[in-house]
Structure 1
């Protein structure tokens, strides 16, 4: 099954919280990474089937933008990332995220 990774970066924590919430509620995806970027920017990454990640990122963008004071700075979807990308970047399923993985 083709897997993808979708990433959203926002300005401010409330916007990333709303985006992450919308992402997992709107599609069958798993959050695999979240962290502070810099200067009040936050990042969340999800994994799942390509169609699910597309739907998830769309919902996350809307939720992040609708948050009071929230701003979605950038977003990106990578369908079928190669193994070398998965081994270097923090986008793979880990022991911590595995219980929430949707097959």
Structure 2
């Protein structure tokens, strides 16, 4: 069962990859998907324990702010199962 879901939306493909890399190096989380919101906006969805997801999102926000690439972010602790079902899955 997923303890938390985190989402971070960035401006630019390059920063979405840099942010994902930093989050994965910061905490024990998994990337669920990277959604292309538009030609320039990308949302990265992660999951894991609440504290790990929060730590990873905090780091992702820090990195995205350095490049003026942060659009929005959120952490949902203990999401309802229906929330997980609406997340687009890659693969």
In structure 1, runs of 5+ residues without a counterpart are 97-103
Q: How many angstroms apart in 2 are the aligned matches of 1:17 and 1:78?
A: 22
TM-score (norm 1): 0.79
CA-to-partner distance for each residue in 1:17-69, whole Å, 9 max, x for gaps? 111011110000000010210141011010000000000000011112223xx
Match of 1:81 in 2: 79
Query: 2:82 and 2:63 mapped to 1: Cα distance?
Result: 32
Deviations 1:51-89 (A, max 9, x none): 00000000011112223xx41000011001111111222
RMSD: 1.9
Instruction: Report if the CA contact (8 A) 2:6-2:76 is conserved.
Output: yes
Structure-2-length-normalised TM-score: 0.88
Deviation of residue 5 (structure 1)? 0.4
Residue 40 of structure 2 corresponds to residue 40 of structure 1: yes
Equivalent pair of 1:15/1:65 in contact (CA under 8 Å): no
Alpha-carbon spacing, 1:39–1:80, altered in 2? closer, same or farther (3 Å) = same
- Tell me the equivalent position of 1:72: 70
